[in-house]
Amino acid sequence: MPKKLMWKWITIFALLILSAWLLYPTYNWYSMPQTERTRLEAERSRPKRILNLGLDLRGGSYLLLELDVSKLDKTEKTQDALQRAIEILRNRIDQYGVAETPIARQGERWISVQLPGIANTDTAEELIGKTAMLEFKTVDTSPAAEKVLSMISEADEPFLQDGSLNPVIAKELPAGAEVLKGKEAKYYVVESSVIVTGAYLKDAKVQTGGQYGYPYISFTFDKDGGKLFSEYTGSHIGKYLAIVLDGVVHSAPVIKSRISGGSGIIEGNFSIEEAKNLAIILRAGALPAPVRIIEKRTVGPGVGEDSIKAGLNACLLGFILIVLFMIVYYRTSGFIADIALSLNFVFLIATMAYFSATLTLPGIAGMILSLAMAVDANVLILERIREEIHAGKPLVMCIPLGYDKAWSAILDSNLTTWIAAVFLFQFGSGPVKGFAVTLTLGLLIGVFTSVFVSRAIYELWLNSNPKELSI
């Protein structure tokens, strides 16, 4: 075997071994019982590099969110805020254990979120919708503040429908102070100025124990935040420190000593699940403005299973028909083309698994179209070889000439389709982008298998000095 041909086969076998290694986690994952997969997902032990199933194949939930642009900082542009909100939502959902969640911008202020595999959206909605603005403020314990709290306790509702404080109570409020609700139906008078915010937060995690055995959240500030926190607590010993999350006071412990090291805790009679979600939100950061869920749809497991069966059946039937046609029409040469086509499918799935791509029904359509383009390339090559054989040229010349003459047509057709796929990926979203991803990868791999792999098979066969080609 010539050295050049030997390297071609080493490359092909190396890619096959690599593909098997990349596909094993996906095979192993989907071979597990559903209960085991659910348990591993809850433990956040899901393998990273596997092929994910999209909402239309797996079932789950779809949410359309609206960013409240009226609450944005005046210096922040809406488009920048929308992009920041998308990144924060992606971080939150990824930490929740749902990998590769399609999140896309829609229009001027809307964001679509797909949650494959999550049928109960209550927890996810709470996770997504929280603004998580963490602030630390000083509790006002002056006589004037005590008088305001006394008036609040005598009033049925201190706040009006528009959220503003009752003017009679507001009149007695000390300058530079505000009234905030507490998590346990209490009210606090706090100073409006903020000591330190969640922007300085470095980490937040759930711990259990404490005085009453409830879960609590321990947090750590970065260097600058830790310095501010240490200076403040050192100079306000004996004062009450309000820990405010989204405008609600979660706890107001008394400062007993300087808190150095930039760490502290948030208590608030949390359940384990509430504390876990709050820690996720704090780690992922605060949304630039609140988001509101304006559309919510659930795709049931039954619909998902039907979609999987329909998609797989369509793939299988189309593949079998193509394989049979190539063998019947081109005989042994058609069989060689089928080998290249099979390797195309294996390489494509392995590549998608490596990139943790999400497979959807439009993605399957893109895969079928790329396989069709690969078949088309093989047909062009085989027809050119036939022409050379009919012209009476030696077999050893017919095959290289067939590949050389078909190459320009293969390149043109794949390149134009690839350019279209790139534009679909760049400007499309959701299913359109999924279609473009599988089509782009499929075209690149299809050209490789149709030209490189099938030619390597013919070159190996020509080493045996054959007299006739079955085509």
Q: What pLDDT shows up at residue 120? A: 64
In angstroms, what CA-CA distances link 388 with 306, 377, 402, 411?
48, 17, 7, 20
Q: What pLDDT shows up at residue 336? A: 92
Write the pLDDT tens digit of every residue in 241-255: 888 877 788 778 788
**What is the side-by-side order of every strand in the sheet holding 177-182?**
187-191, 177-182, 248-251, 241-245, 134-138, 196-197
Give the CA diameter of the chain.
109
Averaged over 343-356, what is the pLDDT? Answer: 90
Q: What pLDDT shows up at residue 123? A: 64
Short-list 278, 257, 260, CA closest to 131: 278
Residues with Cβ < 8 Å from 284, sequence gap 6 or more? Answer: 88, 91, 92, 95, 132
Tell me whether strands 358-359 and 52-53 are parallel, antiparallel or unpaired. parallel
Write the pLDDT tens digit of every residue in 178-187: 888 887 668 8
pLDDT tier, 85 (very low <50, low <70, confident <90, very high otherwise): confident
Write the pLDDT tens digit of every residue in 7-60: 999 999 999 999 999 999 999 988 888 788 777 766 667 787 888 877 777 777
Q: What pLDDT shows up at residue 33? A: 86
Burial class (CB in 10 A: 0-12, 13-18, 19+), 72: middle
* pLDDT exceeds cutoff 80 at 275: no
In whole angstroms, give the CA distance from residue 152 to residue 145. 11
Cβ–Cβ < 8 Å for 68, 291 = yes
Q: What pLDDT shows up at residue 403? A: 92
Averaged over 321-325, what is the pLDDT? Answer: 89
Residues with Cβ < 8 Å from 161, sequence gap 6 or more? Answer: none
Residues with Cβ < 8 Å from 384, sequence gap 6 or more? Answer: 401, 402, 403, 405, 406
In whole angstroms, give the CA distance from residue 398 to residue 2. 19
pLDDT tier, 300 (very low <50, low <70, confident <90, very high otherwise): low
Strands (DSSP E) along 143-222, which ranges? 177-182, 187-191, 196-197, 201-207, 216-221
Query: DSSP letter at 181?
Result: E
Burial class (CB in 10 A: 0-12, 13-18, 19+), 337: buried
* pLDDT exceeds cutoff 70 at 429: no
pLDDT tier, 96 (very low <50, low <70, confident <90, very high otherwise): low
Residues with Cβ < 8 Å from 97, sequence gap 6 or more? Answer: 41, 42, 44, 46
Cβ–Cβ < 8 Å for 295, 64 = yes
Cβ–Cβ < 8 Å for 337, 375 = yes
* pLDDT exceeds cutoff 80 at 199: no
pLDDT tier, 119 (very low <50, low <70, confident <90, very high otherwise): low
* pLDDT exceeds cutoff 70 at 330: yes
Question: Angle, nearest 10°, between helix axes 3-31 and 301-354?
Answer: 150
Phi–psi pair at 62, nearest 5 degrees? -125, 130
Q: What pLDDT shows up at residue 467? A: 78
Rounded mean pLDDT of the chain? 82
In whole angstroms, give the CA distance from residue 158 to residue 170. 9
pLDDT tier, 212 (very low <50, low <70, confident <90, very high otherwise): low
In whole angstroms, give the CA distance from residue 83 to residue 458. 52
pTM score of the predicted model: 0.63
In whole angstroms, give the CA distance from residue 269 to residue 185. 13
pLDDT tier, 457 (very low <50, low <70, confident <90, very high otherwise): very high
Burial readout 25-51 (b: 16 or more C-beta within 10 A, e: otherwise): bbeebeeeeeeeeeeebeeeebeeebb
Burial readout 387-424 (b: 16 or more C-beta within 10 A, e: otherwise): ebbeeeeebeebbebbbebbbeebeebbeebbeebeeb
Higher-scoring residue by pLDDT: 44, 189: 189
In whole angstroms, give the CA distance from residue 383 to residue 72. 63
**Structure token digits, residue 78:** 């809406």
pLDDT tier, 302 (very low <50, low <70, confident <90, very high otherwise): low
Rounded (to 5) percent helix, strand, coil in the chain: 55, 15, 25
* pLDDT exceeds cutoff 90 at 197: no
Q: What pLDDT shows up at residue 168? A: 83
Higher-scoring residue by pLDDT: 421, 434: 421
